[in-house]
Amino acid sequence: MYHEVNWYFDQASLNLCRTVAGDRAVGTRATVDLEIGRRDIPKLIEALESNGFIQPRLDERLRSEDLKITHRLLDIIENKQ
């Protein structure tokens, strides 16, 4: 049976692991071809962000809701003074 590449967090080793894609018999264990230690995960995320692979998303709906809340808080503060 064919299996895709799979990423998972191994609770025993506390590593982020990637399995090999390909055919394997049902009931057999997937081969791990890459392990990233838990101390290296923040470095990986930082590298992905700095190279533009991960970008924060803020759509207009979220932005407008945040602006409404901010303006309401400013109104409350001004009314208290």
Q: Tell me: pLDDT of 62 over 90.
A: no
- How many separate domains does the chain show? 1
Q: What value does the mean pLDDT take over residues 43-58?
A: 85
Extended beta strands in the chain, E state = 2-3, 6-10, 15-19, 22-23, 32-37
* Mean pLDDT calculated for residue range 34-48: 91
**Mean pLDDT over residues 50-72, rounded?**
83
Indicate the pTM of the whole model.
Answer: 0.54
Residue 69: its H or E element: helix 60-80
Domain that holds residue 25: 2-80
**Which is higher by pLDDT, 63 or 46?**
46
